[in-house]
Structures are given as C-alpha cells and as structure tokens.
Amino acid sequence: MSAEPGAAVPPVPSVLSLRTADLDEARWAIAETFYASRIDQLSRDDDLGACFDVVRFGAVTVGEVGFAAELRLRFGELGAYHVDVPLSGSIQWRQGAREPRTTTPDRAGVFQPDGVTTIDRWSGGCRLLAVKIRTTDLEQHLQHLLGRPVRTPVRFAPDLDVSRGPGLGWARLVRTAVRDIQDAGELMRQPLVAAPLQEALLSGLLLAADHPHREELTQPSAPAAPPTARRPSSARWTPSRGSRSIPSTPPSWPPSHGSARGGSRRGSAGTSACRRWPICATYG
C-alpha cells in the first residue's frame, strides 16, 4: 500500500523459486512462503513434480504453486486471509465446520484466517495462484476505505467467480506479478512497484469477493457541492486611479464560473517489513 507521511519505506520484495521431487523440500517451501503443513502423497507412482514461484511484498504473498502428484494437505488455522485460483486441475477443501468446497479454474477458493484447514484432494497436475494476505493489513485497509471501524474478521464468501468481471481482473493482476518472477523480471522486485501493487490487490479483492461490506464499497462517493457565488447586498463600483473613462453605471457582478465537482480520495495504511528469502536455484 502507498505509504502515508512518516511511514516506513516499503521493504524490498523477497522471492523464492524452487523445483523439486523431494517431499521434505516441498514441505519446507510451503512453510517458508505460506503455512506449516502436513503433506501426504496419494499417488505413490507419480513424480511429486513440485514447483514454487513466490514473491512476498509487505502484507501480501503471491505465487504459483504446482504438484504433478495427487496430494492431501493438512494445516492448522491459517491466521491470514487466503485465495487459491487454479490454473489447471482442482482442489477439494474444507475449513472449520463449513461445508466442503471444490475450487476450479473458473471459481477460486477464499479462505478465512480461522478454522482448521484441509485440502482433501489436490488433483494431479494442479497448478494454482496462491495469495496470502496478512489479517491486520486487510482489515485496516477496509476500515480506511470505509472511514469507520468494522467487525473482524471479514467474512468472505468461500467462492469467487474468476471467469468474468472483477474476479477475472483481480486474478489477472495476480498472474502478472507471478509472470514477472518466472520471466526473471525485475519490476515486481522494486518497492516503488510493489507498494501500489499491494494496495491494488487488497482493494481489488475487497471489491471482487462477496462480503458484508462490499455493497458499501461499490457505492459511488457523494460529490462535494460546488461553492455558490453570492452578490453582495450593496456593491459600490470604484474606478481605479488613472482610468481614461468612468462608466456611468457599475458593471454587473461577475458570473460564477463554478468549480469542478470532487469526490473523496481514499488512501491506505503503510506497509511493514518482512523477512528476505534467498533466491533458490532449481532443485531435483
């Protein structure tokens, strides 16, 4: 998010890229970038084929994660808001006492910070975009946009349509960030780019996903009323000294040219520092 006056300079984004067939290395990569987990490989005859391209900037971690093998992953409570957008394949997951869900390339999965989380089936060959958002940063960003306190956590609907509309635009933004890492680009590693990108990802999710405050966010801000010029009750016209002629009657009061209507402009909270990862070589 863009820093407010006096806020710390946004941290340099941290990047991790890894290819591995080793299950322990895959567990380490998930714990280092997202959450500690237990991973069970369900298809023993298949190569694990794990791949990670992940970048963290401030409160947001985004990346592409893929496995060639079919898996089950078990987590505790995530402690962060999280979105999975499959690029291929699907995942079947559940969180807390909520009903099981299936996430596909057309319908992303939105996870809450609370509730024990399990991916019962990660289909073989599934690749997905994963987005982790620090809880306090998203909640403070929402409060700043609304201009008032909100009850937390923010209760998102578990599904997000990414086949069209705002959901598709938001998923494309995530994909752009990941592609820059995979192409060995430098743009997303620059704080001047990472800070506004973080703000766009937070605002975009709050506008695209369904939650109790979405309708209020999508309502246009009320424009400020233009000032009204009033003619004085008694005006006296006094010619300046040195005028060549003095009009017999004072000119009419100058008409108001109006003013541009302006709306409120909302900013965001500052970012905080994060741990820097080494850039990893290809494994396996």
* Tokens 């990670």 -> residue: 52
Task: Supply the pTM of this predicted model.
Answer: 0.74
Q: How many domains does the chain divide into?
A: 1
Half-sphere exposure of 38 (CA within 13 A, CB side): 8
Q: Is residue 261 part of a domain?
A: no
Q: Is residue 275 part of a domain?
A: no
Write the CATH number for 192: 2.60.120.10
Q: Is residue 247 part of a domain?
A: no
Which residue range is the domain that position 187 belongs to?
14-218
Question: How much is the pLDDT for 12?
Answer: 55
Q: Is residue 155 part of a domain?
A: yes
* CA nearest neighbour of 63 among 237, 201, 216: 201
Task: Give the pLDDT confidence of 86-100 residue by residue, as tens digits.
Answer: 999 999 999 999 999
- How far apart CA 70 and CA 95 sit, in angstroms, is 20
Q: Give the helix ranges, DSSP H, for 183-235.
A: 191-208, 214-218
Q: Is residue 44 part of a domain?
A: yes
Task: Give the pLDDT confidence of 12-52 residue by residue, as tens digits.
Answer: 568 899 999 999 999 999 999 999 999 999 988 889 999 99
For residue 21, give both structure tokens.
């067939």
- How far apart CA 141 and CA 150 sit, in angstroms, is 11
Least confident of 16-30, 65-79, 210-224: 210-224
